[in-house]
Structure 1
Amino acid sequence: MVVLKQGDMTWEFEGSDFELRNHSESQWEVAFNWQLEVNITKPVDVAVQLIDGENKTWLVSKQVNIDTVY
């Protein structure tokens, strides 16, 4: 699951709604399969839920700048 938050808006994505791409231990990318009504000039808060068997872990980054929009 991926959750984005910008201001009062929150978007939740599961399953095939997104693709998580890991470029290195400190750099990763989330690619979405549809357009979001997000302001690309303002940062977003990003939460990614990782599931390993019965263990669930949330990775949260706040005030993330949007790098590229296709």
Structure 2
Amino acid sequence: MGLNALRTNYPTRQLGNSVDYQRTKRLAFHDHDIVIIDLNDPTLSWVDREELKRIASKKFGQKPRPLECRRASR
């Protein structure tokens, strides 16, 4: 198995190319109905960010409190 047999960078599978994350997100949405959103994206409004957090919390449960807060509450 030589270097040419390695497979990387969905969907191009070419060695040495950088990954275009925006294109990958776009293809995931168009092809598989998967949405990948960074909550720290500066293009999101505060309202959009809070709505996404609400949806994620409903779907996946609340995020655990940071370790520092858990230690202080004992």
TM-score class, shorter-chain normalisation, is under 0.3
- The structure with the largest alpha-carbon Rg is 2
Which has the larger share of helix?
2
Please, what TM-score do these two structures have when normalized by structure 1?
Answer: 0.21
Greater per-residue strand proportion: 1
Higher RCO (Cα < 8 Å, 6 or more apart): 1
Please report the TM-score for the alignment, with normalisation by the length of structure 2. Answer: 0.20
